[in-house]
Amino acid sequence: MAAVAANPTSPVPLDSIPISPEGANGTSASGPDNNGEPITVFHDKDNFNVKHPLANKWTLWFTKPPSGKGDNWADLLKEVITFETVEEFWGIYNNITNTGELPVKADYHLFKSGVRPEWEDSQNKHGGKWAYTTKDRKGVPIDNLWLHVMLAAIGETLEEENDGEIMGVVVNVRKAFYRIGVWTRTIGKAVPAGDANLAGGQGRTAEQGKEVIQSIGRKFKLALALPDTEMVEFTGHTDSAHSGSTRARAKMTA
């Protein structure tokens, strides 16, 4: 999917995601109207008998803009829906407000099921975030950028198969800019064996961990189709929490 991001206006091919051998209700995937072959949504959008499963379940979250009356951020964060197939993703995406139409201080978060998009979540607390912040909002194709980052996440192309780092992706709508981020389980340090919260990185050296995180940054930048002159930055959640800002000093760039 990385190649698709280089031309955000072109259709996104999803044929790299394997089809289910069974229909949505556990019935045979073959159908008499297609010579015994599976009928997918790409053949017949109304009568398909196969869904394309994703490797993980994902949950879409939404942060409402604060009212200015001392709102608690956790109360503004709302769980929208969980899905596990390509068809469900498109059904959701095609029926929610475009990012470019969201009010200021609203956020979308797309995280693996069971992970809350909060620093304090046990699966996030040791991690960090790659982020790209636009210089302004005028002329930024934010809907395409956000779509391609979501596709890269659910298509598992932001990391290697056994990295176990990607927790979710987020887009922030602010008055003067947009910010898109990719959250990781670790910050690239050495991970001791036996730490269940850091399962994906167990046994890595610090050097290996750093390269895994750097590789995710490069893939993130590729998904955004950014030129070499544009940078993405990585910060640890702990550093951000201590600084009281999502703009803590970057640990790495790509």
- Beta-bridge partner residues of 112: 58
For residues 104 and 144, is the Cβ–Cβ distance under 8 A?
A: no
- The model carries a pTM of 0.78
Instruction: Give domain limits for the chain.
Output: 58-253
pLDDT of residue 48: 67
Burial class (CB in 10 A: 0-12, 13-18, 19+), 197: middle
What is the SS3 assignment for 33? Answer: helix
- Beta-bridge partner residues of 166: 184
* Tokens 């209700």 -> residue: 25
Class at the top of the CATH hierarchy for domain 58-253: alpha beta
pLDDT of residue 128: 95
> How does pLDDT run along the chain (254 residues), one tens digit per residue?
333 333 434 433 333 333 333 333 343 333 445 566 777 666 766 666 677 899 999 999 999 998 877 778 788 999 999 999 998 899 899 999 999 999 999 999 999 999 999 999 999 998 999 999 999 999 999 999 999 999 999 999 999 988 999 999 999 999 999 999 999 999 987 666 655 555 556 677 888 889 999 999 999 999 999 999 999 999 999 876 555 555 556 678 98
